[in-house]
């Protein structure tokens, strides 16, 4: 998989084969199956440059799933995110190599977890009956962070850690990942600006969500 901007911000644990992910993390995730886990335990943490403000409340993970026998019949389900507050996370991320600077935790809105669990339960039951397997992918949508003022023209770095399950704990996914803006394709640049909007625009979006 090509190294690129902030596109790795999808369901991060699914991207463990990408360049830049520590081999120790790839090894620990080798047998991880999201459909066999408690989706409520899955979350990730992000730390960016000073001009970036994390905005979990306007981001969501869009899950797309289908069966092997009907690959064109795809179904979508959105899991909206929020700013997570898990007392032990800060210490656990530090222990995993995250350092002293604070991270912002993203986890799922409780109202969406039941829908995700229902999809997983249905897939398990159908496969137990010998029916075709379910496949799926995930992508992050919305605004995951906003920027204050103009985005600097040079390169920058961000760090991301993932918590697939309580058993695996926090794992470094992209520790101090260097984003080379000069080498971004036009597609990458567009994706970047969709995920990282001006803070003024984000404030309007957040207000609209509160009044929906």
Q: Which strand (E) or helix (H) includes residue 210?
A: helix 199-211
Higher pLDDT, 134 or 174: 174
pLDDT of 161 over the 50 cut? yes
Which pLDDT score, from 0 to 100, does residue 35 have?
A: 59
Point out which residues pair with 59 in neighbouring strands. Answer: 142
pLDDT of 69 over the 80 cut? yes
Q: Report residue 64: phi and psi, to 5°.
A: -120, 130
22-31, 34-43, 136-145: range with lowest mean pLDDT: 34-43
| 165-203 confidence digits (pLDDT tens) | 888 999 998 888 888 887 888 888 888 888 888 987 766
Kindly compute the dihedral angle of the four CA atoms of residues 104, 107, 110, 113, in this order, to the nearest 10 degrees: 170
Mean pLDDT on 28-56: 82
Which pLDDT score, from 0 to 100, does residue 202 have?
A: 62
Q: How far is it, in rounded angstroms, from Cα 144 to Cα 47?
A: 12
Environment class of residue 9 by beta-carbon count within 10 Å: exposed (0-12), middle (13-18) or buried (19+)? buried
Provide the 10 A C-beta neighbour count for residue 163: 25
Q: How far is it, in rounded angstroms, from Cα 154 to Cα 165?
A: 36
Instruction: Quickly state the pLDDT bin for 83 (edges 50, 70, 90).
Output: very high
Round the average pLDDT of the chain to a whole number and report it.
78
pLDDT of 26 over the 70 cut? yes
Instruction: Quickly state the pLDDT bin for 149 (edges 50, 70, 90).
Output: confident
CA-based nearest residue to 209, from 56, 28, 77: 56
């Amino acid at each position: 998989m090509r190294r690129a901007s902030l596109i790795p911000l999808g369901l991060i644990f699914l991207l463990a084969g990408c360049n830049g992910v520590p081999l120790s993390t790839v090894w620990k995730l080798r047998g991880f199956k999201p459909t066999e886990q408690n989706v409520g335990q899955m979350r990730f943490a992000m730390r960016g440059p000073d001009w970036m403000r994390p905005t979990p409340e306007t981001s969501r993970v869009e899950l797309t799933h289908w069966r092997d026998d009907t690959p064109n019949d795809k179904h979508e389900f959105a899991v909206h995110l929020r700013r997570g507050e898990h007392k032990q996370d800060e210490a656990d991320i530090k222990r995993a190599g995250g350092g002293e600077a604070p991270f912002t935790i993203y986890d799922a809105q409780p109202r969406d977890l039941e829908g995700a669990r229902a999809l997983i339960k249905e897939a398990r039951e159908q496969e137990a009956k010998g029916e075709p397997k379910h496949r799926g992918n995930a992508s992050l949508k919305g605004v995951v962070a906003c920027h204050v003022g103009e985005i600097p023209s040079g390169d920058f770095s961000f760090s991301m850690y993932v918590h697939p399950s309580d058993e695996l704990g926090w794992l470094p996914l992209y520790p101090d990942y260097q984003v080379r803006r000069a080498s971004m394709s036009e597609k990458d640049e567009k994706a970047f600006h969709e995920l990282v909007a001006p803070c003024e625009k984000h404030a309007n979006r957040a207000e609209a969500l509160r009044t929906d």
